[in-house]
């Protein structure tokens, strides 16, 4: 029986995509590389996923798992002819009580909020939270604006039910030699998340917003360090440079920020006495770094400021139809240096560059504009991105703070890790997926001839000569 007929038998005709619509699954939010999968299958239950995986195992069929397709590093582009298993339909809420909720991997981050008590909240909020799936968030250990105080997705995962490539189902809790911490951030290379139990935090008593405006990026960078030095742990600490502000002010996300070369948007939360004290200290820190501070005069203004920040990425369309978003993570003290570097690189390649990011944890998000219909322009954007990532590494940074390695940063793995380190990663991968049929040729640098390069851009990304 053909593979198509067999998966149809498992999930029903309606949930197997073979025609033109497959192209919708040819790439995630990372745009430079599109590869149409031979087949897309959308199982509707854990049992169906298990049956599909067992079938693929018996036939040695390569496959990859897809959530909402918001990956910025290409982790769901099926470069090796993989069948795509989309988990969108596995979006059930199984259980919620107190500070925990158990959900399927396909549920959107935003929707968690609809199923929990009003006095608790789910902390991780990547920019894509309106659509991105919990399975994808876990697989990329996604961060977001709440990272400085509440940590990344890792800190909000209590336990996982996973399906391994051999067809066995495991309940992971991270104790002893249990591999839960490996699954978080493994970019879908070790197994399939069937169910996740997530930690909820009690909503803070109050939260207040403070905006700091600076005449140059150096002062803004210094203020980030100073705020921590005076003992404040902000719930959010977001940075926007002038190009980001201009973009926002020229789109529907218009926020009416004060005139500045760079701004910090700060959220403080906790009980009222504590927030009052953190407010006082933050203002002192901002003044010390030559900043001006502003408090919103109305609830409406506060909301507008945050919508502006959340709209900074889509606003980048003001400069360019497509953009790459880097996420090198550097020590907070290096922020001024790398910002200057990103502008210089933008000038070098004549590409628009803006910086808008989570300053609290040092995760940089330089945006580099390009036109994905123009081959040379696309290659230039990739080269610009690579120069910035290399520079971040020389400052003691890491290649990826939260978007993942995927295809985009494969070539930085051997720069950052030793060959022995990578060998250990391969052995771990092998111990879960001995035949490399699950999401191959991502995250771990492939050996020679192990992977096919599909076209010039992929070749460049893999550095296969």
Which residues of the shown chain bind a second copy in the complex (CB under 8 A)?
164, 168-179, 181-182, 185-186, 189-190, 202, 205, 231, 271, 273-274, 277, 398, 400, 405, 413, 417-418, 420-421, 423-425, 427-432, 443-444
Whole-angstrom CA distances from 284 to 145, 161, 198, 281 are 23, 47, 37, 5
* Residue 177 Cβ vs a second copy, minimum distance, rounded to whole Å: 4
DSSP character string of 304-346: HHHHHHHTHHHHGGGT-SEEEE---B--GGGHHHHHHHHHHHH
Of 385 and 405, CB closest to a second copy: 405
Q: Beta strands 169-172 and 157-163: pairing type?
A: antiparallel
Q: How far apart are CA 174 and CA 159, in angstroms?
A: 7
Of 272 and 303, CB closest to a second copy: 272
SS3 category, 411: helix
Of 151 and 296, CB closest to a second copy: 151
* Residue 252 Cβ vs a second copy, minimum distance, rounded to whole Å: 36
Q: How many CB atoms lie within 10 A of CB 416?
A: 16
* Residue 197 Cβ vs a second copy, minimum distance, rounded to whole Å: 12
* Residue 258 Cβ vs a second copy, minimum distance, rounded to whole Å: 29
* Residue 398 Cβ vs a second copy, minimum distance, rounded to whole Å: 6
Burial 43-76 (b: 16+ CB within 10 A, else e): beebebbbbbbbbbbeeebbbbbbbbbbbbbbbb
Of 413 and 454, CB closest to a second copy: 413
Of 167 and 314, CB closest to a second copy: 167
* Residue 393 Cβ vs a second copy, minimum distance, rounded to whole Å: 12
Of 28 and 369, CB closest to a second copy: 28
* Residue 213 Cβ vs a second copy, minimum distance, rounded to whole Å: 27
Contact 215, 260 (CB under 8 A): yes
Q: How far apart are CA 239 and CA 236, in angstroms?
A: 10
Of 271 and 394, CB closest to a second copy: 271
Burial class (CB in 10 A: 0-12, 13-18, 19+), 177: exposed
* Residue 73 Cβ vs a second copy, minimum distance, rounded to whole Å: 11
Burial class (CB in 10 A: 0-12, 13-18, 19+), 453: middle
CA-nearest of 366, 384, 369, 244 to 308 is 244
* Residue 296 Cβ vs a second copy, minimum distance, rounded to whole Å: 24
Tokens encoding 262: 């760079």
DSSP character string of 339-391: HHHHHHHHHHHT--EEEEEEGGGTB--EEEEE-TT-HHHHHHHHHHHHHHHHH
Q: Beta strands 366-370 and 322-325: pairing type?
A: antiparallel
Of 345 and 405, CB closest to a second copy: 405
Of 9 and 203, CB closest to a second copy: 203
């Amino acid at each position: 029986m053909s593979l198509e007929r067999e998966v149809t038998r498992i999930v029903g005709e309606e949930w197997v995509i073979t025609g033109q619509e497959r192209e919708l699954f040819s790439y995630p939010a990372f745009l430079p590389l599109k590869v149409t999968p031979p087949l897309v299958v959308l199982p509707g239950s854990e049992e169906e996923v298990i049956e599909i995986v067992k079938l693929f195992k018996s036939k040695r069929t390569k496959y990859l798992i897809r959530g909402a397709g918001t990956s910025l590093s290409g982790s769901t582009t099926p470069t090796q002819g993989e069948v795509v298993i989309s988990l969108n339909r596995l979006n059930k809420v199984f259980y919620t009580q107190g500070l925990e909720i158990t959900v399927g991997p396909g549920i959107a981050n935003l929707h968690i909020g609809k199923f929990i008590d009003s006095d608790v909240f789910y902390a991780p909020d990547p920019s894509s939270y309106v659509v991105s799936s919990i399975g994808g968030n876990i697989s990329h250990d996604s961060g977001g604006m709440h990272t400085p105080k509440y940590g990344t997705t890792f800190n909000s995962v209590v336990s996982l039910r996973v399906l391994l490539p051999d067809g066995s189902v495991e309940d992971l809790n991270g104790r002893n030699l249990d591999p839960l911490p490996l699954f978080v951030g493994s970019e879908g290379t070790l197994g399939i998340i069937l169910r996740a139990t997530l930690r909820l935090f009690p909503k803070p008593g109050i939260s207040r917003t403070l905006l700091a405006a600076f005449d140059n990026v150096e002062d803004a960078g210094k203020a980030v360090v100073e705020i921590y030095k005076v003992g404040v742990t902000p719930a959010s600490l977001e940075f926007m440079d002038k190009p980001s502000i201009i973009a926002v002010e020229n789109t529907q996300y218009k926020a009416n920020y004060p005139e500045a070369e760079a701004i910090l948007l700060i959220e403080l939360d906790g009980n009222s006495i504590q927030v009052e004290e953190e407010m006082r200290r933050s203002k002192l820190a901002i003044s010390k770094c030559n900043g001006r501070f502003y408090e919103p005069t109305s609830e409406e203004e506060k909301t507008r400021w945050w919508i502006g920040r959340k709209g900074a990425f889509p606003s980048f369309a003001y400069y360019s139809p497509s953009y790459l978003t880097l996420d090198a993570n550097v020590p907070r003290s290096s922020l001024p240096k790398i910002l200057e570097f990103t502008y210089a690189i933008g000038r070098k390649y004549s590409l628009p560059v803006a910086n808008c990011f989570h300053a609290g944890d040092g995760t940089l998000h330089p945006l580099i504009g390009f036109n994905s219909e123009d081959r040379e322009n696309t290659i230039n954007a990739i080269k610009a991105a690579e120069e910035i990532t290399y520079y971040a590494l020389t400052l003691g940074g890491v290649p990826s703070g939260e978007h993942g390695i995927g295809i985009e940063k494969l070539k930085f793995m051997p720069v950052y890790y030793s060959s022995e380190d990578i060998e250990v990663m391969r052995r771990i991968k092998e111990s879960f997926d001995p035949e490399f049929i699950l999401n191959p040729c991502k995250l771990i640098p492939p050996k020679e001839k192990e992977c096919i390069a599909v076209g010039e851009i992929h070749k460049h990304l893999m550095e296969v000569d």
